[in-house]
Amino acid sequence: MRPFTYERASSPRDAAARVARTPGAKFIAGGTNLLDLMKIQVETPAHLIDVNGLGFDRIEPTADGGLRIGALVRNTDLAADMRVRRDYGLLGRALVAGASGQLRNKATTAGNLLQRTRCPYFYDTDQPCNKRQPGSGCAAIGGYNRPLGVIGVSDACIATHPSDMAIAMRALDATVETVKADGGTRAIPIADLHTLPGSTPHIETSLEKGELITAVTLPKPIGGTHIYHKVRDRASYAFALVSIGAVIQKDGSGRVAVGGIAPKPWRVEAAEADMPRGAAAVAERLLAGARPTQENAFKLTLVERTLGAVIAQARG
Ligand code: SF4
């Protein structure tokens, strides 16, 4: 691990300003992803600003009947919250499907959204990787790419976003609240938080330098049957090959977000109009424009079949 300096943030605004003006500075909260990356020198921050003391650890109702989740609420606490279990079952199930209990005890809501890809070449500093080192190339294209993306990918990067929680947040139409380096605040629809790689895969979100996530809000509950179905190579401690987060209503309408296939939680609202027609119709529109590799083309079929299982489960 490279040497770095460390301080505890005194206020959100100060923390945002400090990261924006200090070269090589990064926020640290749970550290469940960042510390691993620092140990193998994929991340080499010169300075860490610890935001754990800033509060942001409460789950509160909003005036319009939704829920405001502090950025530092731990994944375990969020999954166990009775309001989440009752009204946003999809979120609780996605959280429990992610990582181990020990990791969920430390991992935060904001950190979960901002975790980095698990592309194996991203973690191997002997290999070219445009995300880790812009302009160096992509070892995954033409290499081992079975777990990687099939849609939203580019000629520069085919990595996937690894978060289970983010898939649920996308299906639930969450909004991300932030404070910026100038002290201003923003509310970013989760659909606009993560960016596609294009020619700049090292840029993964629409956050500005120093912009700090303070909370994630959920709109009022929409009812329906909440299902999170994660397909992976082994039963636990594995990332999704394909995951489906769905809220399905009695009349067959519903929302579907897909994980394991794209650089961001993948949802195509227009495809949801086809929900009553079944999984094949939805999958066709969800996956329009897909660019699978020879190794991961199976994910296209897997999305359709997993969605079919989810719809069948919702119908009882
Ligand atoms: Fe790096 Fe993306 Fe290529 Fe993986 S797919 S090696 S993360 S550029």
Tens of pLDDT along 19-33?
999 999 999 999 999
CB atoms within 10 A of CB 104: 22
153 in contact with ligand 1, CB cutoff 6 A = no
What dihedral angle (degrees, nearest 10) is formed by the CA atoms of 20, 26, 29, 31? 160
% pLDDT > 70, the chain: 100
Question: How many residues does the structure list for the chain?
Answer: 316
Q: Which atom of ligand 1 is nearest to the CA of 143?
A: 6
Largest CA distance in the chain: 58
139 in contact with ligand 1, CB cutoff 6 A = yes
160 in contact with ligand 1, CB cutoff 6 A = no
Q: Which atom of ligand 1 is nearest to the CA of 145?
A: 5
Q: Which atom of ligand 1 is nearest to the CA of 127?
A: 6
95 in contact with ligand 1, CB cutoff 6 A = no
Nearest CA to ligand 1 atom 2: 157
Q: What is the pLDDT of residue 236?
A: 82
Q: Which atom of ligand 1 is nearest to the CA of 121?
A: 6
- Rounded CA separation 17/93 (Å): 36
232-247 pLDDT per residue, tens: 999 888 999 999 999 9
Q: What is the pLDDT of residue 46?
A: 98
Pocket test for ligand 1, best of 42, 116, 117, 261 (most atoms within 8 A of CB): 117
Q: What is the pLDDT of residue 167?
A: 98
159 in contact with ligand 1, CB cutoff 6 A = yes
Q: Which atom of ligand 1 is nearest to the CA of 138?
A: 3
Q: What is the pLDDT of residue 182?
A: 96
- Positions in the chain whose pLDDT score sits under 70: none
Distance 311 CA to ligand 1 centre (A): 33
19 in contact with ligand 1, CB cutoff 6 A = no
- Contacts by residues 173-178 (CB-CB < 8 Å, ≥ 24 positions apart): 173/218, 173/219, 174/216, 174/217, 174/218, 175/216, 175/217, 175/219, 176/113, 176/213, 176/215, 176/216, 177/68, 177/213, 177/214, 177/215, 177/216, 177/217, 178/207, 178/211, 178/212, 178/213, 178/214
Q: What is the pLDDT of residue 237?
A: 84
Ramachandran quadrant class, 217 (left: phi over 0; alpha: psi -120 to 50; beta: rest):
beta
Q: Which atom of ligand 1 is nearest to the CA of 119?
A: 4
138 in contact with ligand 1, CB cutoff 6 A = yes
117 in contact with ligand 1, CB cutoff 6 A = yes
Q: What is the pLDDT of residue 12?
A: 97
- Strands 47-50 and 5-8 turn out to be parallel
